[in-house]
Amino acid sequence: MTEEFPQGKMPYEPEPFWRESTQVHSFSPLTIDTEVDVAIVGGGITGITTGYLLSKQGMKVAILEADQILNGTTGHTTAKITAQHGLIYDEFIQHLGEEKTKQYYQANADALELIRKTVGELQIECDLTEEDAYIYAISDQYAKKVMKEYEAYQKLGIHSEFVDHIPFSIDIKGATVMKAQSQFHPLKYLKVLVDEIVKAGGEIYEKTTATDIDETTPKPMVITREGRRVTCKYAIACSHFPFFDGKGFYFSRLHAERSYILGITAKQDFPGGMYYSADSPTRSLRYTPMNGEKLILVSGDGHKTGQGTSTHKHYKALEQFAEDVFGIEEIKYRWSAQDLYTLDKVPYVGPITSNKPNILVATGYRKWGMTNGTAAAQLLADLVLEKENAYEELYSPSRFYADPSIKKFLTQNLDVAGHLIEGKIDIADKRIEDIGSDEGSVVVVNGKRAGCYKDKDGNINLVDTTCTHMGCEVEWNSGDRSWDCPCHGSRFSVTGDVLEGPAKKPLKKVDM
């Protein structure tokens, strides 16, 4: 696809409000070998919260971040702190049973309480407010599912109600409300936790990419791209997609999805609350304070990474929805996020495999990382401190539920195989001269497939389109100007650098 953003209301560059509105400390790369109690790879909500909890208990931690802390999925979230994760509880009761479903709810409710408690103890100014969370249906088909979800809430003892309207010009068939949830500014919250880690003697390194773990030594050693080593008692992968697989075959048990967010000011006031549509394509709504006014976050239109229509059309769909519901004054921000899904929709948190108790992993939050990521941090900290945690079995990465895991595993990997084959036989029909300014596309160069991006000054970037993870062919993402892999969600910049894993190596350069 070569279609780009039209001139108009949409910001040219994707930039999350959270990052632009917060000054986060920067840290130097790791340049020498070091030894700590716990090495944490990934500087998002899970890594930082885990580091904070362990630092409080006197453990020395090191956090290694490939880019900048709080610039990955955490920096691109909608930042709802809620145990309402879409239409999930009725499904979980059917597949996991009522007891484990209740545990999932309670783990996320505990996470919400931990955030509230931490905000109070550290007196963090992070725009934390209590809000009800709505999931609504606009069709008869989904109205039945929303009612079933309400019935599941009742079975589980969740404080909730069923309503027949919401305070917007959206004609709904019903909504289930989870009461007394929250929202906040995630970076204002987490940057204070970062300060606490540093005060406790913790080490934080940016521009430090972890690539492997040496298991042959008495203690695990995390190895960086530059060959530096971090010796530790525990190594924890909180790097979105696990940087180390450890024969856990996570690439076959996870898939990546992208979703899109607009930050708008509107003609109509936002009444409060957090909203999520059950129908597809999903729509999510909340507000956040911005310079004395309300910035409304409109998000949704999710799809598998590297698959679907030209990505700027997803932004345009959200723009049309926002215009219809609120009347847009200005689109201040636009950005996208990437999230990982497990086979059964419950995150993987715990030992990376059953025989590696000192190497832990946390991944697969399914777009609900504020509570799932905090719950993961609590569990990880308890595992390191050898404390009992009621949710250890629920989140165990080694679990396997025949229903629905077998079906999902087969479907997911058939999809990967299909895209692998499709990419190899897809013949590019464009040449470099066909590409316009600020456009990208697959082209033919010297008789071979290549990825071409031509910037606004006419400079050409050519890369090999073969993903360095497992050999699938990447596709152009027009909305975010990146090369995305449809198989396992790796993303690369226009120059081929890795933006998101599981790929560790950049795309090869192609000569003209």
Q: What does pTM read for this prediction?
A: 0.85
% the chain with pLDDT above 70: 91
Query: Which residues neighbour 117 within 8 Å (Cβ) at sequence distance 6 or greater?
Result: none
CA atoms of 110 and 82, how far apart (whole Å): 10
Can you give the pLDDT at residue 1?
Answer: 30
Select from 286, 239, 330, 295 the least CA-distant residue to 132: 286
Give the tens place of pLDDT for each residue, 228-263: 999 999 999 998 889 898 888 888 888 888 889 999
What is residue 127's DSSP assignment? -
Can you give the pLDDT at residue 419?
Answer: 43
Can you give the pLDDT at residue 480?
Answer: 78
pLDDT band at 179 (very low <50, low <70, confident <90, very high): very high
Tell me whether residue 303 is exposed, middle or buried, using C-beta atoms within 10 angstroms of its C-beta: 0 to 12, 13 to 18, 19 or more: middle
Higher-confidence residue: 307 or 72?
Answer: 72
Indicate whether 5 pLDDT > 60: no
CA atoms of 132 and 183, how far apart (whole Å): 10
Quote the radius of gyration of the chain (alpha carbons, Å). Answer: 22
Indicate whether 363 pLDDT > 60: yes
Contact 61, 235 (CB under 8 A): no
Select from 31, 33, 32, 41 the least CA-distant residue to 62: 41
Q: Which two tokens stand for residue 476?
A: 């152009």
3-state DSSP call for residue 242? coil
Can you give the pLDDT at residue 427?
Answer: 57
Can you give the pLDDT at residue 326?
Answer: 95
